[in-house]
Every structure is written in structure tokens, then in C-alpha cells.
Structure 1
Amino acid sequence: MEARAHTGRLDELLHEVRRQMSRGSGADPRPVLDWLGRQIDADVALVGGAGAVETCTARFPRRILPSLEPTLARLSGGQMAAVATESGALQVRLEALGPHAPRPVLVVAGASAPSREAASLVSHAGSLIALLDRARGADTTFRGYQYKARQLRFAVFSALLAGDLTLARRMTTGAVPALLDAERLRVYLLHCPPEDRDRLAQTYQDGSGYHGTGLMVHCPAFKEHLICLVADGSADGSGDEFADEAGGRFDAEPDAEPDAEPDADPHGRADDPETAHGQGAVLRRLVRDNSHYALGISSPYPLGATAEAYGQALHALAAARHTPERVAAYLGRTPLMPLLPHPEADTWARALLRPLESTPRATLDITRLAVTFPRSAVARLLDISRNTVSHHLSRVEATLGLDLGDVRTRAALDLAFGLTGGQPDGGFCAEGGSGPEGGFGPGGGFASGGGFGAEHGRPVPTLEELFRTGPAHAWAREFLRPLRDTRGRDLHTTLRAWIDANTDAQRTARHLGLSRNTVRAHLRAAEHLLGRDLLTTGSGIHDLVHALHITGLHPAV
């Protein structure tokens, strides 16, 4: 009878352990101590290796611990395994737990010495607490490993964004990700609930903390984004692969033709050269099976052009959210920059940015991000405060005499940075004016004409002069062409008013006599038609600004 009761008690103890292991929130010895205290009519404490009480039952007499310090030290150090002693009127049993010093110690205090059965329960409970402690330690180690792996993946992505493949390899010496051996990659940008990102990254993670020949990277700026870098054909021809939950591999995907352009599906559906296998298929299946997911896919790019691929994926994701499949590939429109007259555009950009030639690199990097993304997103991306971002931007505003709060100013600066490769001091000469030239007035607006400075003896063109060229005009017409058939909604008027209102939807609504919700609905429709992100990250606004500016210079359009 007693044996059956003892077995029943142990079953209760094991049930508590199973309950803790199944909930996945970390091991907690307190319920075990409470259970043990009820079973043997005593109070129980768990004393850590440093001598402090980690947890205890509600009425445990902490006053007895100072007199037990020498014994606790010997038990914790491994000189003894268990001790029975007295402290005043209390009978105390101390038992060291675990194999490694400093060991935690289980302290049981009661009015009478524990019986043989009670002592057995104490030992069993102690063993299970030790297991829980080791499980807790393993959980801590696992979480630490996952955090470090996640940070390393982001560091590799950051190096690729900067086009620095050497840095990406150096920071992963000894465990270089297979992605870095690929000639090209695509960026798959997955929109999902923030709490799903850890689960997805861990599900497909391999033993090195990577994802086969790909990388899944948590975007720190936008919590709903999981950035997936996918090799578009590795150096050894093995293609890309994700590890599945069982440690297996999905089959490789065939390479696309190197110069193939993505199909321009009028609905923005993804039609990249993927088969039913590989990482792309895994991500599309996730979108198909989860109604809150969406996926944007870039064209294939060399690893050194990861930033361009990421920008394409952002635009594709904006389009994907408005399609039934919630998956879209970048439409592959020609960008504006290569269509501008090269010598004149280069002269304009360098003249505009010349005052920044002595600006610290950190300030320039922050400015390049802040002309495209919201300041709060830049702060999260760089793990700095929003005030720090504002401080750097204020310095640039003062140097250039411009207002970075104006969307047209940001669009022009982004264009100038793109034309110069983000290096305002590259090739600048010492002579020439030091203020912002090339088409900006003192208030940060565009000059209507003239405004020439000197650059190697040549006049500095204005931005309007660059935009009056035939190729720029054709680009703007093609960019805005999808807005022509909008079923009665004048999206073009809404977009122009929105830019005139500095992208303030409320001001736009008042100007047009519409509701704010209607304005935002028009903007979402324009996102889908133009294939540009206007509302989430705002990364597509600059193309819209330039297209409207160019068509405004050609009123016949």
C-alpha cells in the first residue's frame, strides 16, 4: 500500500515536470518545491551556487541560512553530497544538486527529521530540480545561440548591402555561409506576423546557423519583414536549398538565364524561373498556407548589388499585398538614373553634395537611409535613438541649407547619392562654390531655371534641365501609364496632391474634398498599379516624385 502511494507521488512529480517541459516557457522549480513541501510537511528552498536563495516555499525560515553558510559552501563546492543537521528547533536536510560546481543546494526545514520515505522524495525532487535547472540552462544557451546567429546573419546582410563581399567573408571566417559562394542571388521579402519570424528562421536553419545556400534575416526596421536571401545558382552548381524540419534538404532549383528579365505580369504575379522545389517554393507555400503572409521577389543580381535586389523586393512586396496570390515578382522597369545624360547628371549631383565632402561617414550613411526610410525605421535599423538620427540629419540640413522634411528634397538627394555612389567627396575639386547649387533655392525648393555654378569651368545644370531630356520624359510617361485606366478614380490627381501635401494624407483629403480613408485607398491602388511601395516603407515615393516632376515640365503629356 505504501509502495503504491509512493509511486503515486512520484507520478505527480513527473506530471509537473512534463507540464513544464510542454509549455515551452522555461523551467520553474518553484512548483516542485511547493509540491515537495506539501508532501513532507516542511518548508523548502533552493539556494544557488553563490549562496543566495533562488526560490522557496512561502514560509521558508530564511533566518537559518547564515548559520548554514559553511555547510552550504562545502556542498556547493562538491566536498559533500548531503547533510542532516539542526538549526534551533528545526531539523534541516541539505542536498547538493547537479554534477558541476558551484552546485545549487536543496534545503529542507521541518519540525522533525524526514522519514526514509520523505528523504527519498527529497532526493527524487532534487534530481528533477537539477534536470529542470539543466533544461533551463540549455534553453538559455539555445536562446543565446539563436540570438547570435540572427545577429551574424544580419551582419552578413549589412555587408552585402554595402557591396562589401570581403567583409562578409571576414566576419564569418571558419563558417562562411554557402550563399557567399553563389554568383547571384534573389531577395525574397516575406511579410508575416512579427512573432512568426523566429519560428520560421529556426525551422529552416542548418547546423551552422544559416539556411543552406540562403539566409533568413530579421529586418530590424520593419518588424513584419523577414528578408530571405536566396542563391540563384551557387558556384558549384548545386542550386539553393533549405533544410527541412527533419534535417533533410529540398531539391535544387534550376538557374535562370543570366540576362533574363522578369516577366511583366500586369497583375504583378510572380513568374520567376522557379520550379516546384527549392527555397522559393518553400516561401510561396508559406504564403499560400497563411492568409496574413505576402511575398515580394527581386530579379537575380550579383551579390555586390544586394541593395538593388532588396529595393526591388520592397516594391514587389507592395504589389503582392494587392494580388489574390499575395506573391509578386519585380516588374523589371528601367530605372531613371541610367537614362539621364551622364556627364551633366554627374556634375549636378556632385555640385549638390559638395558641401558634404568633409561630413563624417556615419552621418552620410544615416542620411542615405533617412532620405528613403522613416527616421524611426533608420533608428531601429542602426540600433540608435531617433534623437541621434535627427541630430545627424540636422547637421546635413545646416550644411546643405535644405529641409530634409520635404519629400522633393529627399527625392533629389537620393538621386544625387545614387549618381555619385554615395561618395560626395569622390572626384570633387577644391574650386567652386560651397553652397547647394544645381537647381536648389535657399528654401530647399527646386529652382525654376538658371542657378548655374562652376564645375571644372562648365555650368552646373539644374535638375529640371536633366529632367527635360527625351529619355527622362519617356521614362516618366511609362512609369505613370498604369494610372490611365483607373475605372473612374483619378489616381493621378490624388498622387499629385499627396506629393504637394508632402505625403500628408489628411492635408491631401482636405485639399481634394475627400475622406482620409479614400485618399489612402487611392494610394493603395496606386501601389498595386505602379509596383512601388508608397505607404509601408515609402521606398517607392522618390520615383513617383520624379515622374510627376518630369511630366509637369511637359504639360502636353
Structure 2
Amino acid sequence: MPTLGALTMDPELELTFAMPEGGKRYGDKQVRGLSVLTLASVLDGAAPRTLPAGALVLVSGALPFRSWGAAAVALETLLQRMAEAGCAGLVVTTAPGPHQPYPQSLCDLSGQIGIPLMATAAPVEYWAGLVASLHRQRLAAAERRAEQLTALVQQLPAQLADPRAMQRIADWLARALGIQVLVSEPERVLAAAPPTAAEHLAQAIIRQSVEGSASDGASGPHTQLISLAPASGAQTVLAVARRIPFSEGDLRLLQHAAKLLGLVDQAHRDSRAAADASHAVRVAAAELLLAGELTTARRVLDPLAPGLLDADFGRVFVAETDPADRPGAVRRCETATAGRALVVADPSDTARILVIQPLHSGPNDDTVAHELTRLVTAQGPVSSLGGSGVYSLSLLGQALHEAVSAARFAPYQPDSVSLSAQHTDFVSLLPPQTAQRWARHLLRPLQSDTSWDLFRDTLPVALAYPNTVAARRLELHRNTVTRRVARAGELLCLDLTEVHNRITVGLALELVIHRDLPETPTVPHQGVPPVLLDLLKAPHLDAWAEQLLCSAGADQRDLLTTAEAWLACDAHLEPTARMMELAEGTVRSHLRALEGHMSRDLSSLAGIRDLAIALYLVTGRFAAPVADRKLCPAA
């Protein structure tokens, strides 16, 4: 519903608050209808004695600004009635100009009773559009409430055997409509919201059993009594009551709620059979989805979860668990996703659970991912989680392949969660002990130098940015940064102006400074020290690289060729453009597209590092041996 403040922004209505403080005090007040009265009817006392709650009252006709008299008295009476009905505000038509359309007595009364005074210079005909708009918004509000209940119905399969389901539905209904709710049988109460609802509704239940009709009296609480299963002859009844009458939309919601409660009531009598049927349907729907049979999957699942698959895109998650704990893990995943996803135990793997999430709220809906991540971090039966990116719902077979690949390197993540390669930290996938040995061997010339503390503080920033930018970030002189970088290059026997060497040294510094292991032995290892290629031999790193570059490789602009040329030119645009015979703007647009595909910032050293290493692992053409060139004797 629109607010008074929003209506004043409509130029056609030419609506203003009569008092300067009106906008601040009443701007957020909602308008639920419009009542148009003529000035003559107000002066003659012919105005309606009851007005709709939330209505904006418009009085049309020229007001006697110089001689108020009877008009002021009539408007005061109208204001009192509006206050009793809970109206939104009073509007009078007036000619354009700076004059005050209301006498001071009306302004004082307005402040006392909380009904704002407003004025409009627009003809009454211009307000017809507001009437139509309010009507449409009322219909939309009713539809939204129906959609809320439909969403509640869609949660039914996951809650059929839950003894608390009926109480949760009653609580939801009480909040949604502001009512007293009682679900009962002749001998007992099944659910009540609030807990005191039984005593308020006892008389209504007795009256229904005697008269066989719901109370619709104009005074006192308005009640509705609905049988949950009239066809079966069951005596379970939904009884509701509140002070204001029920609208058609409210009654429609109550009918849906009664059907849902009836299903829950029946489920309590035969929960095991319903659970078995639900499981079979879900597994069948999941298998059809992963096989690309979207239409058939929808037809199979709709009776159980209406509308769940009515989306264009989706994601797949693979949760790993101990086979003995899988039934409990499935129930936890179903509870966590709350009807927003299809959860099944993988028939082909006794330790795996598949979670298929249709994205009804758009591709950025991370609610299911957050809930599943919480299950992993809670140290329950779900031990690790892999997830895919966003795919068309007809291509979920590919999404499953990506999720399985992500699940392979999820155990190497600090939280045992890997939601696609784009969100996976490359450094955490490296073998920790071997990576530390390699990094310490590479940096030994720096660590043994008396200036190690200066190198440790300067190089991570100096390698990631031009010297001028690094100096500003470090609050040092540019020449100081240049000297330290040059000295580090001399000690390492590496040209730190080359991007591959910056990547190598930056990775080693991150491992030593930020990823050091508490159990790292102080006694040097015997034998040949590892090289960078030794760190990149794990199969899960190949899977990470393939998934990271998958969408970029499918781009028709041949982005990976541009990336290789850019890295060969030490990440400089101009020489890359010359090498490829392209405009600099084209190269720049290719790099921006790569950033989007990879979810990496290619202006950062970490982003360039992930691109370079992934290219090497996928193509084998990246000059990774530059990173393993023979170190100077001091190393």
C-alpha cells in the first residue's frame, strides 16, 4: 500500500501537507483506500457515518477560506469520525497558491487526534487513477498472502511426520492474520495459538456443533469454523476468531490452511507410508532432473512439492557423510532447506547426499548454501560440502559434475566447504607440509639476511602493486621500496619485474607469513627440496583449475588465449595488444570478462596467480618452470 509521503511525490495529484511538520510525522502512514465526499454533503451532514479504515478522505469543492463558520464545524465532525474509523488523512481541494487552506482550530484538532490535514490543487478526476491503483494493490496483497500459504504448503513433505508441524502452522496463521487459532478434536486440543486461544474459542466450537454454521454476527469477535476433512467425516476442526471481519482473501487463506492442517492430521496417522512415498518421488524427480528430463521431473514432483521446480536456474550441492549417519543427515538437510530444495540420498554412493536448489529468488540466492554450510560447521553428521555454480535447470547434470569436483577438494578447505572453484582458496588446496618446505627453501636467502623483517613487511605489498602505489600504502618513500625489491631480487637471483617471479615469491611469502603450520618442524628435511611443480600434482588441483576456467574457456572471444599473452607480457596491456594485434580496449574487455568468469580480481597478485597456475594445470603451456629456475647459491 502507498504511504502519504509517496502520494505527495506524485506530480499529478499536487498533494501537500497543510502543516510543515506533517511530512515528517505522517509520511510513513499507509493508505488503503480513497473516499471522495463533496463539500455540500459534508456541510449538510450527509457524509457517511462510518468510513473505511485506512482510507484517505477527499473533500471536493471550493472551501470558504474567508468565512469558515459552519464549514469548520462540519469538518471537525468529519475529523472525529475519521479518527474513530482509523482513516489515513483528510484532503481538501484548493486553488494553487501559498495560502493556508485550514483554520487554526482544525489544525489543532488534527494534531490532537493524529489525522493529518492535506491539500490538493488537482481536479477530482486526477484522483481516479489512485482508486484503481489502490484496488490493484489490494488484490496484489491478497495474492501475496496466498503465495505465503502456498509456500507453507510446499513445506508439507518435509514436515509430514513432525509432531510439531500442526502447532507451527497454527502459529504462522495467527501471525499472518492476527487471529486466535484453535485446532481440536471433540476430546482434545491439537494446537492453539496463542496458548489461551482455547478459552476464547470454546463458545464458538459449541455453537458450531449445535447450529452447524459459523458465527457471522456484526458484534463481538468474528469467528470461522472449518472442518479439516469433511469428506472423511473426521471431527477435527479449525476454529479462528478476531475483532475485525474476515476479508475474502482471509477466507481463502483459511481454506488453504485447513487443507494443509488436514493433510498434517492425516500424516500423523500414517507417517511411515507417506515418508516412503515422498522418498520414492523425490529420488525419481532428482534422477529425472539430473538426466535433463525437466518436464517429466516437474510432473512427478508437483503433487508433492507444488511449484518447487518452477524456476529457470538452479544449483547442486553434494554433502558427504558417514554411511551410518546418512539418514539423520538427510533429515537435517531437509529441515535446514525448509522446502526450498530437493534433498535425496544419492543411490549411487552410500556416503553422499544430493541437494538440488531451484533459484526462485534469482541467481544470488545463497540461503540454502548458508544453511548447508552451517550444518558442516556445526560438526554434525555432514562432514563436507561441495557446490556448483548457477546452471539452467535443464543442465543440472553438468552442475552435479561441478559439485562432485568441488566436493573432492572441500576437505582441504578450513571449513570443509567448497562452493564451486570460483569460491575456493587455491592456497588451502596445496599439501601443507610440502608447501611449507618449498616456501622456506625458496625464501631462505631472505630469511637468513639481516633485513628479513623489512622484506617480510614490504614485499607482499611491493610485489602486488607498482612501486609508487606500494610506497603510498606502506607509507614509505618510493626509492625505499624500490631498493628493497631490488635487494630481494639479488638475494633470490630472480628478476622481480617479471610477473611469474612475482607470483612465485608472493605465494611463498603468503605460505610462510600467513599459512605457517604450528607443527612445522625446525629440523631441516633431508633430500632434494620440492619445487613448485611438486605442489601442483594433486588431482584435486586439476579439478579446481578445470572448474575455474570452464566458463571462460567456453566464451567465444577466446579469453584464455588473451590471458596467456597478457601473462607472457608481464601483465602489461600495450605489449599484449601489439602481440595479439588487438586494440588495448579489446584486451581490457577480455580481462574484465575473465574476472567475471573466475570471480577473481586481476589487478591483484592473488588473482593473477590463480589465473596463471590454473592455465598451466589446464593447458600445460604456462611457463611455470620459470618459478623453479635454479636459485642462487645462497638459497
Q: TM-score range by the shorter chain?
A: 0.3 to 0.5
Please give the TM-score of this superposition, normalised by the length of structure 1: 0.34
Task: State the TM-score, normalizing by the size of structure 2.
Answer: 0.30
Higher helix share: 2
Give the number of the structure whose alpha-carbon radius of gyration is greater: 2
